[in-house]
Structure 1
Amino acid sequence: MDKQRTLYRECINLCYTQKKVMSDEVFEKTMSELKKIWEKYGYADTLGTLAGIWKHEEAVPFLNRMADSLKQYVGLKQRDCSEIHTVATFYHRAYMGGVERANAELMNIWNKMGVKVIFFTLEPENSMDYDYPKCVKRIIIPNGDAKSRFRALQEYCIREKVDLFVNHEWTDPNYIWDCILLKIIGVKYLQYCHGHFSWSLNGGRGSIYHVESFKLPDMILAISEVNARFYQMFGFDTYLVRNPIPSDLLNCSYSSKVDSKRVLFAGRLSFEKYPMEALQIFEKVHEKINDIVLDVVGDGDPADEMMKFVKQHNLEDCVIFHGEKNSTELAQFYKNASCVLFTSKMEGYPMMLLETKAYGLPVVMYDLNYLTLVKDRKGILTAPIGDVEKMSEQLFKLMSDYNYRKKKSDEASESFEYFKSHDYTSEWNSIFNIVINKNRCIENRNYHKGCAEQEVDGMILPQIFERLKDGYRAEVENTLEYKAGIKILMIPRMLVRTIRKIRQRLL
């Protein structure tokens, strides 16, 4: 305990901790001080202590500069890594979500490439886990205490001789500490960004530091042209990838007959998926086609609110909640459906869209025109984001016309054949080679091949400003001053209402 207290005091007294100014003099003095602290306490404990002292916006600029100077200040020896032998991948769990499923499929791909795979996670095995190779070593790392976490990461990465670390937990700003630790011990670090780039802009003033932190990894993996272009505009080393298609979908030979009156809403139930709007859309269509049924497959926080809505609107006979299902059970729902309803307003690479294509199902969704999976517009009916009325019109159009529904179904199947042809092994061989040979710069990779740069840039700016507005609005509304102001402004309104009631009684 005394040792940890001494470490804390030394970190508090660091030049940068005291001055919080990034000048050459402050940086060099701080690094000189850090080198002595590392020698006494080790990398893991030192970084774990700093993670509890420095705010995110203080840590990012310093760690970015530190990453550029590791060889000079840490005495880091360049690892002889002419080939990737061992890949470690990290996500907090292995079930119930698109990221989890993509991670499992990537482990299968790497294993087939002859690469040893280590799976770092926060949870033990679960019966709902997506399938990944039995030879993959699963390691549960501590959660909560930074020093324990860093010690485990350092110990296991060195013991297992990890060459490359792929982080899927891209929304966690604390990843910067994992990243700098692994870079110190010579492990290459990839940040796999599964969602839309603008997610990181909704945190108010701190947003820019989250974006700036993406300079730390050796490479950013982006899953759409818009995302890749955004990170590239900041000068980050970026590579455009496609999430792998699950093996059960690749082997799917089923082509939907779309002759039922069942609409499917499937996936993790969360408020950012706007499931309540799915119910509103369905209700409008049900008023015109009274024999259609909505199957809701999934579970999550909004479930109770959804069930309450269904009961209040007398939809119990036509909206059925099935709870969480594994991939085998979910397949049967796709086979029984005639179309899928999708109400997300922001996505990265939604697995559900791949599933609809695999089963030849048309989908009614908001117009997320930046998604790789909707570029060809095949099998898809769209409405402006948030336009419930237009969505209901599209769903009615689809469910009231079998021939039109069958046409869109055939389009979906045709689109899936295109995505099936993607060579994931070549893609990852290319990524491995680039990580090893860092002399190749981003401009030489032509990651945006086939896309009009001007068109992509035109999508980026509106999305940036919308998310920034949301972020700053949320930041203001969470301040003590704003909340106090709302309470104070309620007083005159309450007085006015009270006076009106008194007058009414007197009259």
Structure 2
Amino acid sequence: MTVVFACLDADTLGGVQQVTHTLAQGLAGRGHEVHVIGLHQAATPFRYVERPHYHRHVISRSPVRAQGRLARRRSDRRVRELFRAIRPGYAVMTSPSVVARLSGLLPAAFRPVGQYHGSYDHARGCWHLASIRRHYGRLDQAVFLSADDAWLFSEHALLPNAWTLPNPLAAWPEEMSSLDTPRVLGVGRLEGVKRFDRLISAFARSGAPPPWELHLIGEGAELARLRAHADREGVGDRVVFRGLVPSERMSAEYLGASVLGLTSEHEGLPVVLLESGAHGVPSVAFDVSGGVRSAGPVLVPPGDVDAFAAELGRLAGDEEERRRLGADARARAEAFRLDHVLDRWESMFAHIER
């Protein structure tokens, strides 16, 4: 079959893009014809797959939100021409923006599927919920990351077509962390929504003594502010900013960690929780979505830094508990192995055909 994934931009460093390329490579590896379309050129393109078995397309070389009316009409024409050149199949639109943009542009031969990579609570707090209500009910399928979120959307957005498909793990590690390195790990863009300031504060209040350190992997505009925040919290010498680590080296980072912390303002189903769990690393996270809950971290109320600190301190001081939770995390991560998730995608396509 033919599967087309359409993103606002397909090559930015981000969770939606990582998942899209993982799914595209996996489905192509099963013999399907797969295309990944970026409606815009990423400002700083990131290559997720070294040798893609799928086709990649960029519609407009202009960045997101930089198009005038004439450029928009040219882009719409290119979208129509590209879809006419691709064998009919499924068009998977990866966000509300893409669903709204492609409304009216898809040929009738393509079965439309809309994904949402966020949580219901996040959608409710911004324009996403209104857009999902307006557009997703008319699609063949509306896809969400967890059963909890799919139910909430079906109830509150009146969607008759909600489906659950989790994010996949790109690879399954054979090794597990020994969990004896005194290191808490945080992974993600150093941007406001990830709230690494809260993770730094929680680490400072956790009571985890030296040589315990907090290592933050990622780049972003908040770097200088976060360095200053670590100094104010009295842990500037124990918070290590690692910068961007290539994807092929991330497995070693998980193997060198004993706890993962996730303090985001909102999340759908963060791949970092799945990857850390697959490496047998327990995690602590704010309870912000059904997707986060499905990954099985130690949960604390959203925004409660003191509760987060208490859990970090408990795990730092109890190696046996880390091992127990790490084994549970790896067992739970099995459900997110790529082959299992691809099976579920193929089952959904078969359901649409019926």
Residue 227 to residue 139, structure 1, CA distance change in 2 (3 Å): same
Does 2:352 match 1:429? no
Residue 428 to residue 406, structure 1, CA distance change in 2 (3 Å): closer
Distance 2:266 2:42 in 1: 30
- What is the match of residue 296 of structure 1? 216
Aligned 8 A contact 1:192 1:222 in 2: yes
Deviation, structure 1 residue 105: 1.5
Aligned Cα RMSD in Å?
2.5
Distance 1:425 1:314 in 2: 46
- What is the match of residue 200 of structure 1? 123
Aligned 8 A contact 1:108 1:133 in 2: no
Within the candidate set 141, 163, 166, 2:92 is matched to 166
Residue 162 to residue 307, structure 1, CA distance change in 2 (3 Å): farther
Residue 360 to residue 149, structure 1, CA distance change in 2 (3 Å): same
Residue 179 to residue 436, structure 1, CA distance change in 2 (3 Å): farther
Distance 1:405 1:258 in 2: 7
Structure number with the higher strand fraction is 2
Does 2:105 match 1:189? no
Aligned 8 A contact 2:90 2:111 in 1: yes
Deviation, structure 1 residue 418: 4.4
Aligned 8 A contact 1:294 1:320 in 2: yes
Letter in 1 for 2:83: C
- What is the match of residue 58 of structure 1? none
1:174-209, Cα deviation, whole Å (9 max, x unpaired): 6324122105x43221111111123332247x9535
Q: Aligned to 1:230, what secondary structure does the other structure show?
A: helix
Q: Aligned to 1:296, what secondary structure does the other structure show?
A: strand
1:334-377, Cα deviation, whole Å (9 max, x unpaired): 11111111112422111011111111001111124622x63484
Distance 2:288 2:234 in 1: 32
Q: Aligned to 1:182, what secondary structure does the other structure show?
A: coil
After TM superposition, the runs of 4+ consecutive aligned structure 1 residues lying more than 4 A away are 124-127
Does 2:58 match 1:136? no
Distance 2:89 2:335 in 1: 33
Deviation, structure 1 residue 281: 0.5
Q: TM-score, normalised by structure 2?
A: 0.88
- What is the match of residue 2 of structure 2? 86
Deviation, structure 1 residue 123: 2.8
- What is the match of residue 305 of structure 1? 225
- What is the match of residue 412 of structure 1? 329
Residue 422 to residue 139, structure 1, CA distance change in 2 (3 Å): closer
Distance 1:411 1:367 in 2: 18
Residue 120 to residue 273, structure 1, CA distance change in 2 (3 Å): same
Does 2:258 match 1:341? no
Superposed, 1:271-420 pairs within 5 Å as 271-286=192-207, 289-368=209-288, 370-371=290-291, 374-375=293-294, 377=296, 380-420=297-337
Distance 2:234 2:309 in 1: 18
Residue 348 to residue 369, structure 1, CA distance change in 2 (3 Å): closer
Residue 333 to residue 424, structure 1, CA distance change in 2 (3 Å): closer
- What is the match of residue 230 of structure 1? 152
Q: TM-score, normalised by structure 1?
A: 0.63
- What is the match of residue 102 of structure 2? 178
- What is the match of residue 220 of structure 1? 142
Distance 1:110 1:254 in 2: 26
1:432-476, Cα deviation, whole Å (9 max, x unpaired): 223333xxxxxxxxxxxxxxxxxxxxxxxxxxxxxxxxxxxxxxx
Aligned 8 A contact 1:162 1:187 in 2: yes
Within the candidate set 62, 65, 76, 1:150 is matched to 76
Residue 270 to residue 162, structure 1, CA distance change in 2 (3 Å): farther
Aligned 8 A contact 1:179 1:189 in 2: no
- What is the match of residue 41 of structure 1? none
Letter in 2 for 1:157: F
Aligned 8 A contact 1:180 1:216 in 2: no
Deviation, structure 1 residue 303: 1.7
- Which has the greater radius of gyration? 1
Aligned 8 A contact 2:267 2:289 in 1: no
- How many residues are aligned here? 342
Q: Aligned to 1:141, what secondary structure does the other structure show?
A: strand
- What is the match of residue 266 of structure 1? 187
Residue 321 to residue 407, structure 1, CA distance change in 2 (3 Å): same
